[in-house]
């Protein structure tokens, strides 16, 4: 009997010893910690923040910088705690289950053996909303500056912000990406732009972009103001967020959220990961083709032209970007030439209005870049057509002839874009030229009949001719009404 008890004691001791590393630990309310932070984000410029645990939720720890917390009066502290409680409930009841169902989960209980995620609120620079530190998800043996916990850093300025849930969701998705991509695939870090794209779409997937004045409404406005921002060239500027957000919503709308989510399962990154995911999900289109179709959709946004050239989402269906307008003379020779540089995975929107007779448009792109030139023709009767210029890869040149520009066409919009597989070129900018000339010269030099050459007219005859010309131009306004609209 004694021997049996001894065996049980040994077994229990061994069992407890074996399980000890897996015991879940917990922080306690009022606990103080010195957290290592990113100096580049900190308003104070300090690398450490002393903070106290002011709220223990079911899913989140809420730490607040001591210096900031002391500036709040009692009412403001109560409002902050109420905001934290609301976020914790939303995390447990909505954010975590929804995102986990589509993208997988963060590491849990994680490096700290705690199922809760730590949220640290402290003053950040400028308009910064939050960030994460990848190294926090690994032990100090790998990086001595690790805080050794699954953790997000949020701007204390937004403690009571109506978009706090959206800001947190964005950062939380980064934790999922780290676990699903980096940890499970042996340290394979995702490219920044796709990492951010996943986090931007997570806000929509969590259901936060359905109301008016939502998170995505801000991103739409950002994109409209920066429509030629590169998708893949990440500079951590506000325009970068607009590009990745709108493109990712287009990708998911046309091909499903699984195509986006499966990039986390790929050992490849960026465009190559999307290409692999598209193929594995049974689609023939490449990421390059998806992107060039997207460049037309954000301008035209008309499902009657093609499903691939529009958004069906209620908010995005109203999206129309502005063009760079080029005006051609309505009489005499039309001759215009422009040269521009363009970044990989970006597009420009060149609109031509006016002109006379038949016009020839010529395009030439730098051969180290793979260009696509879509063009949209808007006719006087309202008809719209979309086509693209077929160009040989080796020289990236071609031409388009538009018949009766002055009689049938109100405007033609060229959408040059360039996509390259990584490694094809070291160039970060690609040059292209676009020109327009008369293919057939007009028969009249003026849109009105005159009895003698201009240099033989008297002063009064010249004035009369100019008045007639002005009357003609004014009379043509209804005819050219479509060209006066900025699309």
Beta-carbon contacts of 78 under 8 Å, excluding residues fewer than 6 positions away, are none
Q: What is the per-residue burial (b if ≥16 Cβ within 10 Å, else e) of 94-133?
A: ebbeebeebbbebbbebbbebebbbbbbbbbeeebbbbbb
Total-model pTM: 0.84
Would you state the structure tokens that stand for residue 385, as one six-digit string?
A: 């057509």
431-477 pLDDT tens trace: 999 999 886 644 445 556 666 666 677 776 676 677 667 755 665 54
pLDDT confidence tier of residue 484, bands split at 50, 70 and 90: very low
- The helix/strand/coil state of 445 is coil
66-77 pLDDT tens trace: 999 999 999 999
pLDDT score recorded for residue 477: 47
Q: What is the per-residue burial (b if ≥16 Cβ within 10 Å, else e) of 42-78?
A: beeeeeebebebbbbbebbbbbbbeebbeeeeeeeee
Would you state the structure tokens that stand for residue 172, as one six-digit string?
A: 């939380």
Q: Residue 192 in contact with residue 178, Cβ under 8 Å?
A: no
pLDDT score recorded for residue 312: 95
User: Cα separations (Å) of 306 from 188, 213, 227, 251, 301?
Assistant: 37, 29, 21, 15, 9
CATH 2.60.120.380 residue window(s) in the chain: 324-446
pLDDT score recorded for residue 447: 59
Would you state the structure tokens that stand for residue 161, as one six-digit string?
A: 């912000």
Instruction: Fill in the DSSP letter of residue 383.
Output: -
What average pLDDT does the segment 24-51 reach?
A: 91
414-440 pLDDT tens trace: 999 998 744 445 568 889 999 998 866
Would you state the structure tokens that stand for residue 180, as one six-digit string?
A: 């699903």
Beta-carbon contacts of 422 under 8 Å, excluding residues fewer than 6 positions away, are 270, 271, 272
- 324-446: CATH, from 3.40.50.300, 2.60.120.380, 3.20.20.70, 3.30.56.10: 2.60.120.380
CA torsion 240-234-290-204 (nearest 10°) is -50
């Amino acid at each position: 009997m004694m021997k049996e008890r001894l065996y049980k004691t040994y077994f229990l001791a061994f069992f407890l010893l074996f399980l000890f590393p897996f015991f879940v630990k917990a922080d306690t309310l009022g606990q103080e910690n010195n957290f290592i932070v990113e100096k580049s984000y900190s308003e104070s410029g300090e690398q450490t923040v002393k903070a106290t645990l002011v709220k223990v939720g079911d899913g989140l720890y809420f730490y607040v910088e001591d210096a900031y917390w002391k500036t709040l009066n009692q009412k403001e502290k109560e409002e902050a705690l109420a905001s934290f409680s609301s976020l914790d409930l939303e995390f447990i009841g909505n954010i975590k289950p929804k995102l986990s169902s589509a993208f997988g989960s963060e590491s849990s209980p994680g490096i700290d053996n705690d199922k809760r995620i730590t949220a640290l609120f402290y003053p950040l620079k400028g308009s910064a909303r939050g960030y994460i530190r990848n190294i926090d998800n690994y032990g100090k043996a790998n990086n001595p500056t690790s805080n050794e916990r699954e953790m997000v850093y949020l701007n204390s300025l937004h403690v009571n912000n109506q978009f706090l849930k959206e800001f947190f969701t964005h950062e939380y998705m980064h934790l999922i990406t780290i676990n699903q991509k980096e940890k499970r695939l042996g340290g394979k870090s995702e490219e920044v732009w796709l990492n951010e794209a996943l986090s931007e779409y997570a806000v929509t997937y969590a259901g936060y972009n359905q109301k008016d004045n939502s998170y995505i409404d801000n991103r739409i406005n950002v994109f409209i103001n920066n429509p030629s921002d590169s998708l893949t060239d990440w500079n951590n500027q506000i325009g970068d967020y607009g590009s990745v957000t709108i493109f990712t919503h287009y990708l998911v709308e046309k091909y499903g959220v699984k195509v986006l989510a499966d990039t986390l399962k790929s050992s490849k990154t960026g465009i190559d990961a999307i290409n692999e995911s598209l193929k594995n999900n049974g689609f023939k289109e490449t990421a390059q083709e998806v992107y060039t179709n997207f460049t037309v959709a954000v301008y035209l946004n008309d499902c009657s032209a093609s499903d691939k050239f529009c958004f069906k989402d209620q908010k995005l269906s109203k999206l129309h970007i502005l063009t760079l307008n080029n005006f051609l003379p309505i009489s005499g020779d039309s001759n215009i030439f422009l040269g521009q540089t363009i970044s990989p995975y970006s597009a420009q929107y060149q609109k031509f209005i006016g002109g006379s007779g038949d016009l020839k448009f010529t395009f030439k792109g730098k051969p180290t870049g793979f260009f696509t030139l879509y063009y949209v023709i808007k006719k006087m009767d309202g008809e719209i057509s979309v086509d693209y210029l077929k160009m040989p890869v080796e020289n990236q040149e071609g031409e388009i002839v538009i018949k009766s520009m002055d009689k049938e066409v109100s405007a033609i919009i060229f959408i040059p874009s360039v996509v390259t597989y990584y490694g094809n070129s070291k160039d970060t900018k690609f040059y292209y030229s676009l020109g327009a000339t008369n293919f057939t010269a007009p028969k009249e030099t003026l849109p009105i009949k005159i009895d003698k050459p201009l240099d033989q007219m008297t002063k009064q005859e010249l004035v009369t001719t100019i008045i007639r010309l002005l009357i003609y131009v004014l009379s043509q306004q209804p005819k050219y009404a479509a060209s006066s609209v900025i699309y």
